[in-house]
Amino acid sequence: MSSTIVKAVCPHDCPDTCALHVTVEDGVATAVKGDPDHPTTAGVLCTKVSRYTERTYHADRLLYPQKRVGKKGEGKFVRISWEEAMSSIAEKLKPLAADRPLSILPYSYAGTMGLVQGESMAMRFFHKIGASFLDRTICATAGGVGYKYTVGTRMGTDVEQVQHARLILIWGGNPIASNLHFWTRVQAAKRNGARLIAIDPYRSLTAEKCHQHIALLPGTDAALALGMMHVLIRDDLLDHDYIAEHTLGFDLLCERAADWPPERVASVCGITAEEVIQLARDYGECGKRGEASMIRMNYGVQRVHGGGMAVRNIACLPALTGAWRHAAGGTQLTTSDAFPKNTAGLQKPDLFPPGLPRRTINMSTIGDDLLRESSPDFGPRVEALIVYNSNPVAVAPESGKVMQGFAREDLFTVVLEHFQTDTADYADILLPATTQLEHTDIHSTYGHLYMMANNPAIAPLGEAKPNTEIFRLIARAVGFDDACFSETDDELAAQAFNTQHVHAVHFDWSSLKKTGWAKLNVAEAPFAQGGFGTPSGKCEFYSASMAAAGLDPLPAYIAPYESVASNAELAERYPLAMISPPARNFLNSTFVNVQSLRDTEGEPHLDIHPQDAAERGIANGDKLRVFNDRGSFEAIARVTDKARLGLVVGLSIWWKKLAGDNKNANEVTSQRLTDMGGGPTFYDTLVQVEKCA
Ligand SMILES: Nc1nc2c(c(=O)[nH]1)N[C@H]1C(S)=C(S)[C@@H](COP(=O)(O)OP(=O)(O)OC[C@H]3O[C@@H](n4cnc5c(=O)[nH]c(N)nc54)[C@H](O)[C@@H]3O)O[C@H]1N2
Ligand SMILES: Nc1nc2c(c(=O)[nH]1)N[C@H]1C(S)=C(S)[C@@H](COP(=O)(O)OP(=O)(O)OC[C@H]3O[C@@H](n4cnc5c(=O)[nH]c(N)nc54)[C@H](O)[C@@H]3O)O[C@H]1N2
Ligand code: SF4
Ligand SMILES: [Mo]
């Protein structure tokens, strides 16, 4: 028997981007383990990906192309050949391309984070055909924009330094579930004496293990950060030299922060003034002692109306105390801008037909946009949708509308998938895609600083093909013969990073394939000497760019769309705030169909505070209906004070068809967008809850 180890990468939308060792025996992948030598992976994988072979060889894998025979959404298909699939697609797309190419829309996100199987060949195709652009906002744009206004570039503390921090604020994140290898470093810091504080409306797995948990109301983080600024300034817990040299607008910031005394902040956030004061003192005194404080800002803070501003406000804090002076200090939201990606080379935007109109559709409002008629404002109705690396019917907000759109008989939908997901049920043509074990890819990450190579470990299962190959075939079928549609996956990977950029001067695909990973050439403490990426080169407390964009140029508080304080009329009918953050054993909606992982999660639950439950006659284990004007879904009650008073928590994202009522939390979420970046507001949702009859 021949046994080899193949160097690969976890493809999932997770900041950890682990280095994998795949054991292959006689052409079969038999084990997936963490690379023990990779500094952040350190030989450890999460439960989900340790079970990767179970997903790859799952009996339900899509293994050949199919076409729909039942009604849309019914999920009835028959097998066809690749030739028939391609000719059906070409027959639909060619007339649209000739007459109104904007009626063609891609829909994709981060099913794989690979730069090759993500947006390379696919985007070349959509550019060439002149399709609508998709604004990929569903996760991180609000915070990304808010962070950039302040810090200028989406970089921050290197996770490999975190064990040296003395104070760690875990702000809107649950790393035990969603950023495991950061949590490992936090544990090391704790052993070195660091204090850990979680800021989260929910006592998550992580909050439970911190020294302190501040359970503020959802969507009020921006106010808490303003309160911290107020106390830092009032009590002079500042690094005046750092402020003078490396920041812009301190005097204006002082005026603004003066409006946010701890009592006001406490009433907005639903916490005590002492909590605000103590948090600020802990943070400021750490700086005064010359010790590193680190804020891991995560996605929990940005899925609300003022999510961009919340991230911006928090991003101001390390410059006030000089925390950036320390390699282990500062803040990390994402490391994505550290990677000099050669996006233009991979995606070839120049292929877009000159002179043709352009249009961008926001993926977070796909529900509304699929239901729009042609109009001078909107342009042509969406008539062809090509979905890959995403499961919008489960993950996009206001699901009732998303499903109505996907159910349109006059919409031609192609889905590239591993499995027959909720979205795949609506496909006209369903195409089998390869998994990470079956194709080549190269990865950047958003949680560490390594370029990562994925070598194929096994041959494609059945007739599955990589996304790139499927788009090569579609391009050929509609008659595109540009040389760039013939490039191989290796040729694509070799162009992934710009070697002119100092961070990636050493990038070379053929050696990366062998070593598996290579660290970017990045300074240890990126902003110790200033050098921010903003127009002024400073950390911008005052941002002229924000003023120019019609935003408040100073840190501000933007209330949620839906909260008891901001919308009393709505709260009368729907008094509970609902959040639906990731479940530990799923990755967004991926893995929900892996039996062993679903067994661990059980069934869809809703955590509800004992007092809120008692008022509604709800007991642990009762079946609940969760509803608002947008829709409803069912879940089993878990009566627990992990959810603060007034909050319900439905860990997500369930496949609808694997939930008892064919629905999930996105039935009740809204399509309203964040203050910046056009992001979704999943955690800005009021609901009512009742016991099912
Ligand atoms: N196991 C697992 N890992 C994942 C994912 C997954 O689905 N499962 N998803 C991946 C993806 S796509 C992403 S974007 C990341 C997300 O990474 P994280 O942001 O770390 O996501 P969560 O684990 O949901 O942590 C969000 C926390 O924010 C809290 N929260 C909700 N609203 C608010 C608020 O208004 N303020 C504050 N302060 N906290 C709030 C929630 O209670 C939750 O505990 O994780 C990635 N990793
Ligand atoms: N209620 C609620 N909704 C949310 C969130 C929340 O916290 N609460 N989180 C939001 C966030 S942060 C995100 S990032 C989005 C995530 O939304 P999505 O990016 O849509 O993530 P997944 O649900 O994991 O779906 C990815 C799909 O891609 C497929 N896939 C994986 N690899 C490949 C491949 O190589 N080729 C092809 N063709 N397909 C592949 C997988 O099988 C899977 O079905 O969801 C958002 N929705
Ligand atoms: S999902 Fe995250 S923690 Fe799990 S193996 Fe992948 S990168 Fe690592
Ligand atoms: Mo995400």
HSE (side-chain half, CA atoms, 13 Å) at 209: 13
Among residues 433, 426, 419, 420, which one has the least CA distance to residue 473?
Answer: 433
Nearest protein CA to atom 47 of ligand 2, as residue = 395
What stretches of 109-203 adopt beta strand conformation (E)? 133-135, 167-171, 195-199
**Distance, CA of 670 to CA of 647 (rounded, Å):** 17
Length of the chain: 693
**Distance, CA of 387 to CA of 392 (rounded, Å):** 8
**Distance, CA of 685 to CA of 671 (rounded, Å):** 10
Q: Could you tell me the fold of the domain covering 157-332?
A: Dimethylsulfoxide Reductase; domain 2 (3.40.228)
If residue 283 lies in a helix (H) or strand (E), which one and from where to where?
helix 273-288
Instruction: Note the pLDDT of residue 331.
Output: 98
CATH 3.40.50.740 domain locations along the chain: 66-139+358-519
CATH 2.20.25.90 domain locations along the chain: 3-56
Ligand 3 pocket, residue 12 CB under 6 Å: yes
Instruction: Note the pLDDT of residue 687.
Output: 98
Instruction: Note the pLDDT of residue 79.
Output: 98
List residues bridging with 587 in a β-sheet.
590
Instruction: Note the pLDDT of residue 1.
Output: 72
**Spans of the chain below 50 pLDDT:** none
Instruction: Note the pLDDT of residue 597.
Output: 95
Find the 587 Cα to ligand 4 centroid distance in Å: 9
Nearest protein CA to atom 4 of ligand 2, as residue = 395
List residues bridging with 690 in a β-sheet.
625
Find the 73 Cα to ligand 3 centroid distance in Å: 31
Q: Which atom of ligand 3 is nearest to the CA of 46?
A: 4
Q: Could you tell me the fold of the domain covering 3-56?
A: N-terminal domain of TfIIb (2.20.25)
Q: Report the b/e string of 143-170 with b at 16+ CB within 10 A.
A: bbbbbbbbbbbbbbbbbbbbbbbbbbbb
Ligand 1, residues 17, 51, 178, 448: which to mutate, most atoms within 8 A of Cβ?
178
* DSSP conformational letter for 364: G
Find the 416 Cα to ligand 3 centroid distance in Å: 23
Q: Which CATH number fits domain 66-139+358-519: 3.90.650.10, 3.40.50.2300, 3.40.50.1000, 3.40.50.740?
A: 3.40.50.740
**Distance, CA of 523 to CA of 464 (rounded, Å):** 42
Strand 412-417 and strand 384-388: the pairing is: parallel
Nearest protein CA to atom 7 of ligand 3, as residue = 17
Instruction: Note the pLDDT of residue 422.
Output: 98
Among residues 46, 28, 11, 68, which one has the least CA distance to residue 407?
Answer: 68
pLDDT tens-place string over residues 427-485? 999 999 999 999 999 999 999 999 999 999 999 999 999 999 999 999 999 999 999 99
Instruction: Note the pLDDT of residue 193.
Output: 97
Instruction: Note the pLDDT of residue 693.
Output: 85
Q: Ligand 1 site: residues with CB under 6 angstroms?
A: 13-14, 139, 171-175, 177-179, 199-202, 204, 218-219, 221, 298-301, 304, 579, 581-582, 584, 586-588, 683
pLDDT tens-place string over residues 151-179? 999 999 999 999 999 999 999 999 999 99
Q: Which CATH number fits domain 568-691: 2.40.40.20, 3.40.50.11540, 2.40.160.40, 3.20.20.30?
A: 2.40.40.20
